[in-house]
Amino acid sequence: MAFSNFDTHAFLRDYWQKKPLLIRGAFGNWANPLDPDDLAGLACEDHVEARLITLDRERWEAEHGPFPEDRFGALGKMPWTLLVQAVDHHVPAVAALIDDFRFVPNWRIDDVMVSYASDGGGVGPHFDHYDVFLIQGLGQRRWQVGPRCDEATPLLPHDDLRLLADFRPTDEWLLEPGDILYVPPRFAHNGVAVGDDCMTYSIGFRAPSRAELIGGWADDLLESLVDDDRYEDPQLKVQANPGEIGAEALAALHAMVTEKLGDKAAFARWFGEYSSTRKYPEVDWGPEEPFTAQELREALAGGEPLLRNPASRFSFVRGEAGAVLLFVDGESYDCSGVTAAFAEHLCAGSVVEAGPDVVKSDPAMDLIATLFNQGSLGFDEG
Ligand code: SIN
Ligand code: CO
C-beta separation of 41 from 82 below 8 A = no
Q: Does pLDDT of 44 surpass 80?
A: yes
| Amino acid (one-letter) located at 11 | F
- The gap from C-alpha 297 to its chain's centroid, in whole angstroms, comes to 32
pLDDT digits (tens, 9 = 90+) for 285-316: 999 999 999 999 999 999 899 999 999 999 99
Taking CA atoms, 199 is separated from 85, 90, 93, 173, 287, in Å, by: 13, 17, 15, 16, 34
- Ligand 1 within 6 A of CB of 191: yes
Q: Which atom of ligand 1 is nearest to the CA of 121?
A: 3
- Ligand 1 atom at shortest distance from the alpha carbon of 128: 8
Q: What mean pLDDT is reported for the chain?
A: 96
**pLDDT number for residue 3:** 85
Q: Where are the domains of the chain?
A: 8-205, 210-262, 293-378
346 Cα–ligand 1 center, Å: 31
Above 90 in pLDDT, residue 165?
Answer: yes
Atom nearest to 81 CA in ligand 1: 3
pLDDT for 376 beyond 70: yes
Give me ligand 2 centre to Cα 344, in Å.
33
- Asked whether 96 and 33 are in contact (CB, 8 A), the reply is yes
**Cα of 49 from ligand 1 centre, angstroms:** 15
Ligand 1 centre and the CA of 248: distance in Å?
54
- Which contacts of 36-43 are long-range, i.e. CB under 8 A and separated by 24 or more positions? 36/116, 36/138, 36/197, 36/199, 38/91, 39/82, 39/84, 39/87, 39/114, 39/116, 39/199, 40/72, 40/82, 40/116, 42/84, 42/87, 42/90, 42/91, 43/67, 43/82, 43/84
E strands, the chain, in order: 21-23, 50-56, 59-64, 80-84, 109-117, 132-148, 171-175, 180-183, 187-205, 306-308, 314-318, 324-328, 331-335, 351-352, 377-379
Would you say the CB of residue 123 lies under 6 angstroms from ligand 1? yes
- 183 CB near ligand 1 (under 6 Å): no
Residue 329 CA to ligand 2 center (angstroms) comes to: 27
Among all ligands shown, which has an atom nearest to the Cα of 53?
1
* Residue 6 pLDDT > 90: no
Q: State whether the beta carbon of 115 lies less than 6 angstroms from ligand 1.
A: yes
Which ligand gives the minimal distance to the CA of 200?
1
Burial class (CB in 10 A: 0-12, 13-18, 19+), 278: middle
In CATH, the number for domain 8-205 is 2.60.120.650
Note the pLDDT tens digit of each residue in 336-347: 999 999 999 999
Do the Cβ atoms of 311 and 276 come closer than 8 Å?
A: no
C-beta 200 within 6 A of ligand 1? yes
188-204 pLDDT, tens digit each = 999 999 999 999 999 99
Which residue is closest in CA terms to ligand 1's atom 1? 115
SS3 sequence of 266-302: HHHHHHHHHHCCCCCCCCCCCCCCCCCHHHHHHHHHC
Q: What is the CATH number of domain 293-378?
A: 3.40.366.30
User: Ligand 1 within 6 A of 52 CB?
Assistant: no
pLDDT at 54 exceeding the cut of 80? yes
State yes or no: pLDDT of 348 exceeds 70.
Answer: yes
- What is the mean predicted confidence (pLDDT) over 249-276? 97
Q: How confident is the model at residue 382 (pLDDT cuts 50, 70, 90)?
A: low
The pLDDT of residue 147 is: 97
Q: Does the Cβ of 189 fall within 6 Å of ligand 1? A: yes
Please report the atom of ligand 1 found closest to the CA of residue 122: 3
Distance of CA 175 to the CA centre of its chain: 24
Residue 225 CA to residue 229 CA, distance in Å, equals: 7
Does ligand 1 have an atom closer than 6 angstroms to the CB of 110?
A: no
**Closest ligand by atom to 129 CA:** 2
The whole-number average pLDDT for the span 333-359 is 96
pLDDT score at 381: 79
Residue 26 CA, ligand 2 centroid: distance in Å = 20
